[in-house]
Amino acid sequence: KERFVRSVRHADELPAGNWPALWEALGTAAYEPRLVWEPSELAALHDACGRELAELEQQHAIARAAGGRAAAAGEAEWEGGSFRVKYPPVEAEAYVAPYYLGPLVKALSGRRPEAEGCGPPVPPGFVAAVGAACAAEADGARLVPLLRALGVSYAASCSPRGAPLPCLAWLVSLLRRPALPVPQLHAALDTLRVSLRAAPANALPLAEAGGLEAL
C-alpha cells in the first residue's frame, strides 16, 4: 500500500482506515447475496495491481527521462476510473442488482413473507427485474438460477393477497417450448408451484394464459 500511495502522488501518510481489518477481510471467503468472494481471488487482485503499478512506474520513468517540459508538466497520473479486475468465479454468478442470485436463493429458501427481518430484504421492483432477466436470457444453464431466484424472491416479498407474479405468461410460453431441458422444466415448474402457494391470486392469470394446458 505504501507503493500505491507514492505512485499516485498522495501525501506521505497512508489514507485513514483500518488496514489490518481490510487485509483480513480480503483473505476471508464470503458467499452472500451482496458479496461473492474467494481468497484465491486475492491473487487476481494482487496481480492486477502489480501490473498497474509497473505500467505507471514505466510511464513515470519515461516522463523523467524526457526532461524539460514533460518533466515540468508533471509525471503521468493514474487513471483509476479505467482500472478493472476480472474475477471469473464472481462473473459466473447470476446477478440482478443488488444481489447475486445463488446466495440469495440460499438465504431466502424457507423464509415466510411474515417473517420480518429474516433474510435479505427484497427491494421494490426486484421480482420484476428478475423476471425480465429470465425472459432475456438465452443461455439455458444461466436461466435455471434466474428462475429459482424468481420464485423465492416473489414468495419472500408478496402477501397471500398480493399481486400475481409479473411474468406468468412468459413462464407458460417457456413450458410450451418443445423438448425443454429437464433442469429448466423443473425450475419453471417449481417457480409456478412457489408462486401459487405464496399467492392464490396467481391461479386465475395462470389459467387465462393457458398454463393449465401447458402443465
pLDDT tens column, 151-210: 999 999 988 788 899 899 999 999 999 889 999 999 999 999 999 989 988 998 888 888
Predicted confidence at residue 15, as pLDDT, reads 65
Three-state DSSP string of 67-95: CHHHHHCCCCCCCHHHCCCCCHHHHCCCE
The mean pLDDT value of the chain amounts to: 83
Predicted confidence at residue 81, as pLDDT, reads 84
The pTM for the full model equals 0.75
Residue 4 has pLDDT above 60, yes or no: no
